[in-house]
């Protein structure tokens, strides 16, 4: 009967194994032991030179042991998202302001100010955030669309709580598609209007002329600034 | 479905109007007409008439290195309508500056991401029920986002990508279609719009050979499909009276006309 050997003759407490430093002749009485395919480096060899068995010994050398682990921690730098301290501060301020606007222990005027400041900070984020992905942008754009031209008094506490939750989600370095979907769905469920009027069908001629003029001015401004 | 009020595709569009009076009037219609329904086919029309335009803006802004270039590309491909959409967005933002462009671009894309991501849900949330009796395959295809790319294509209907029931649906209305052809033939030429002419042509084919559902035929006769679906409800509310004002007579459904001119800022 053929016996199978996982080729791990000695196990250490840490689960690390090291090939034996000196070849061990283990051919006698063990020649029918076959290593599992894919097992670790074979160092120990029989006198005939054929690599049939491997004998491992524990790593006693602490530095080498660390080296083994360090290799596993070499994660590419790109896997991390850096959130600059200024943006981090901006996001924290945003969260603070919208949280304050829900705080019933402070006066209405102050709550209203906090709400307006929160909207201003959100607007700043649309241009300054460098790490935002499209899921961040969906939440951010929806919050701004929901609150444009509106005051705190236009919203009930339930909606404000939702704004707090959404702002908190924006603080995450990475926002997933389901997270963004969930926030948008909750905004819609709370009957918050997050659509931006962009349908030109019913525009009057006067309004169209006004929009044409505005675009002309903006392009002129851009051309001047770009030289 | 007898207790349902159908809302036509254009009513959803009016809810997105920049004219506050028109927008409020349209929204009031939605509020006042529960239990409300939209045809699943309207989702497809909204995708083709609105969401695809937004996707074009997104793509061109994302690919351009200045507002001027973006605007020129948008006008060249999307025409005046798309150019006005960009202008409306900028006007809505207020205090917008195109400089520096990398920041301005981010700002514009933020709003477009939010609108593209939410549009499908916004339309569906406006009514109590989506009516999908002919199981339109295209109406199931939401805008898809793949990284920084939005895909809002509407493929031609083929044997391999379509499992809808439009052919048997149309077959079940053969009697109405015969009446429709007779009625349209009796109309004076000035009342026959291009869409009514197309509807007549498709109705004739359906009566003799069955509904020609391949390619994009449904999109050319959307008013006919929505009109037939509305027979299941109390009425269809629409601002498109040119077509529905004629179609409802032989097809026998009720129409409530939402008058855009009367409901907009003077």
Q: For B106-156, write each residue's pLDDT tens digit.
A: 999 999 999 999 999 999 999 999 999 999 999 999 999 987 789 999 999
From B231, B217, B216, B225, select the one nearest B243 (Cα to Cα): B225
The two tokens of residue B191 are: 């009342």
| φ and ψ at residue A77, rounded to 5 degrees | -60, -30
Which pLDDT does position A131 carry in this prediction?
87
Give percent of chain B above pLDDT 90.
92
Does residue B266 lie within any of the structural domains?
no
Whether residue B26 is predicted with pLDDT greater than 70 in this model: the reply is: yes
Which pLDDT does position A23 carry in this prediction?
41
Q: What span, in angstroms and rounded, lies between the C-alpha atoms of B95 and B47?
A: 30
Chain A CB contacts of B148 under 8 Å are: 134
Q: What span, in angstroms and rounded, lies between the C-alpha atoms of A129 and B164?
A: 44
Domain that holds residue B114: 5-257
Mean pLDDT of B58-77: 96
**Residue B259 contacts A, CB cutoff 8 Å:** no
* Confidence label for A66 from pLDDT (cuts 50, 70 and 90): low
Q: What span, in angstroms and rounded, lies between the C-alpha atoms of B131 and B15?
A: 20
Q: What span, in angstroms and rounded, lies between the C-alpha atoms of B66 and B85?
A: 17
User: Among residues 146-185 of chain B, which lie with CB inside 8 Å of chain A?
Assistant: 147-148
Please judge whether B118 and A219 are an interchain contact, meaning their C-beta atoms are less than 8 angstroms apart: no
Calculated CA dihedral for residues B103, B108, B112, B113, nearest 10 degrees: 10
Query: Greater confidence, B66 or A83?
Result: B66
Mean pLDDT of B50-54: 95
Whether residue B171 is predicted with pLDDT greater than 90 in this model: the reply is: yes
Taking the alpha carbons at both ends of chain A, their separation in whole angstroms is 86
**Residue B24 contacts A, CB cutoff 8 Å:** no
Whether residue A42 is predicted with pLDDT greater than 50 in this model: the reply is: no
Which pLDDT does position A46 carry in this prediction?
40
Q: What span, in angstroms and rounded, lies between the C-alpha atoms of B46 and B61?
A: 22
**Residue B50 contacts A, CB cutoff 8 Å:** yes
A177-210 pLDDT, tens digit per residue, is 999 999 999 999 998 999 999 999 878 899 999 9
Number of structural domains, chain B? 1
Chain B CB contacts of A127 under 8 Å are: 103-104, 106-107
Please judge whether B118 and A142 are an interchain contact, meaning their C-beta atoms are less than 8 angstroms apart: yes
Tell me if B222 sits within 8 A of B198, measured CB to CB.
Answer: no
Å between B144 CA and nearest CA of chain A: 11
A134-147 pLDDT, tens digit per residue, is 999 999 999 999 99
**Residue B54 three-state SS:** helix
Mean pLDDT of A46-60: 49
Does residue B262 lie within any of the structural domains?
no
Which of B19, B57, B117 would best serve as a mutation to test chain A binding (most A beta carbons within 10 A)? B117
* Confidence label for A120 from pLDDT (cuts 50, 70 and 90): very high
Delimit the domains of chain A by residue range.
1-74, 85-196
Bridge partner residues of B145 (DSSP): B150
Mean pLDDT of A156-183: 95
Provide the mean pLDDT of chain A. Answer: 76
Does residue B265 lie within any of the structural domains?
no
Q: What span, in angstroms and rounded, lies between the C-alpha atoms of B82 and B72?
A: 11
Chain B CB contacts of A138 under 8 Å are: 113-114, 117-118
The two tokens of residue B197 are: 């002419």
Does residue B21 lie within any of the structural domains?
yes
Bridge partner residues of B151 (DSSP): B144
Mean pLDDT of B210-227: 96
**Residue B106 contacts A, CB cutoff 8 Å:** yes
Which pLDDT does position B263 carry in this prediction?
86
Chain B CB contacts of A208 under 8 Å are: 84
**Residue B251 contacts A, CB cutoff 8 Å:** no
Mean pLDDT of B24-34: 95
Please judge whether B18 and A207 are an interchain contact, meaning their C-beta atoms are less than 8 angstroms apart: yes
Instruction: Work out whether the CA dihedral B97, B99, B101, B107 comes out positive or negative.
Output: negative
Pairs of residues, one from chain A and one from chain B, whose beta carbons lie less than 8 Å apart: 150
Chain A CB contacts of B91 under 8 Å are: 211, 214
Q: What span, in angstroms and rounded, lies between the C-alpha atoms of A135 and A169?
A: 10
Q: What span, in angstroms and rounded, lies between the C-alpha atoms of B211 and B170?
A: 7
Residue with tokens 């509106």: A150
Tell me if B200 sits within 8 A of B184, measured CB to CB.
Answer: yes
**Residue B68 contacts A, CB cutoff 8 Å:** yes
Please judge whether A138 and B113 are an interchain contact, meaning their C-beta atoms are less than 8 angstroms apart: yes
Please judge whether B71 and A226 are an interchain contact, meaning their C-beta atoms are less than 8 angstroms apart: no
From A155, A143, A72, A69, select the one nearest A111 (Cα to Cα): A155
Does residue B199 lie within any of the structural domains?
yes
Q: What span, in angstroms and rounded, lies between the C-alpha atoms of B37 and B123?
A: 11
Shortest CB distance from A138 goes to which of B67, B96, B114? B114
Mean pLDDT of B243-254: 97
Give percent of chain B above pLDDT 70.
99
Give percent of chain A above pLDDT 90.
55
Residue with tokens 């006042």: B32
Judged by phi (left if over 0) then psi (alpha if -120 to 50, else beta), residue B46 lies in alpha
């Amino acid at each position: 009967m053929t016996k199978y050997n996982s080729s791990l003759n000695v196990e250490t407490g840490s689960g690390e194994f090291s090939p034996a430093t000196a070849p061990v002749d283990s051919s006698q009485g063990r020649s029918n032991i076959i290593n599992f395919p894919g097992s670790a480096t074979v160092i120990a060899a029989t006198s005939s030179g054929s690599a049939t068995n491997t004998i491992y010994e524990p790593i006693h050398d602490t530095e080498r042991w660390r080296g083994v682990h360090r290799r596993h921690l070499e994660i590419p730098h790109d896997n991390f998202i850096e959130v600059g301290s200024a943006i981090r501060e901006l996001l924290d301020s945003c969260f603070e302001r919208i949280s304050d606007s829900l705080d019933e222990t402070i006066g209405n005027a102050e709550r209203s100010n906090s709400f307006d400041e929160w909207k201003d900070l959100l607007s700043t984020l649309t241009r300054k955030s460098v790490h935002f992905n499209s899921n961040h942008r969906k939440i951010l754009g929806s919050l701004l669309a929901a609150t444009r031209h509106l005051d705190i008094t236009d919203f009930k506490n339930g909606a404000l709580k939702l704004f707090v939750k959404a702002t908190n989600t924006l603080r995450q370095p990475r926002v997933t598609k389901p997270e963004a979907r969930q926030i948008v769905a909750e905004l819609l469920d709370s009957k918050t209007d997050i659509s931006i009027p962009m349908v030109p069908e019913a525009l009057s001629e006067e309004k169209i002329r006004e929009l044409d003029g505005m675009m002309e001015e903006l392009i002129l401004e851009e051309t001047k600034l770009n030289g | 479905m007898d207790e349902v009020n159908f809302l036509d595709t254009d009513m959803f569009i009016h809810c997105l109007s920049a004219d506050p009076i028109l927008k409020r009037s349209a929204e009031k219609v939605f509020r006042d007409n529960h239990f409300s329904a939209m045809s699943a086919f309207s989702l497809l029309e909204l995708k083709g008439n609105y969401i695809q335009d937004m996707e074009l803006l997104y793509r061109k802004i994302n690919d351009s290195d200045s507002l001027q270039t973006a605007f020129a590309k948008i006008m060249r491909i999307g025409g005046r309508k798309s150019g006005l959409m960009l202008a409306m967005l900028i006007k809505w933002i207020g205090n917008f500056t195109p400089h520096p462009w990398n920041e301005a671009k981010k700002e514009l894309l933020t709003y477009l991401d939010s609108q593209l991501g939410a549009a499908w849900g916004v339309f569906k949330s406006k009514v109590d029920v989506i009516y999908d009796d002919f199981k339109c395959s295209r109406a199931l295809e939401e805008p898809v986002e793949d990284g920084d790319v939005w895909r809002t294509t509407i493929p031609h209907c083929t044997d391999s990508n379509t499992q809808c029931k439009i052919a048997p649906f149309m077959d079940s209305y053969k009697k109405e279609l015969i009446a429709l052809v007779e009625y349209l033939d009796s109309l004076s030429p000035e009342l026959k719009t291009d869409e009514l002419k197309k509807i007549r042509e498709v109705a004739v084919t359906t009566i003799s050979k069955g509904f020609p559902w391949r390619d994009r035929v449904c999109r050319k006769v959307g008013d006919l499909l929505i009109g037939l679906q509305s027979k299941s409800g109390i009425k269809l509310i629409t601002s498109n009276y040119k077509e529905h004002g004629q179609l409802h007579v032989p097809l026998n459904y009720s129409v409530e006309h939402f008058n855009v001119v009367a409901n907009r800022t003077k």
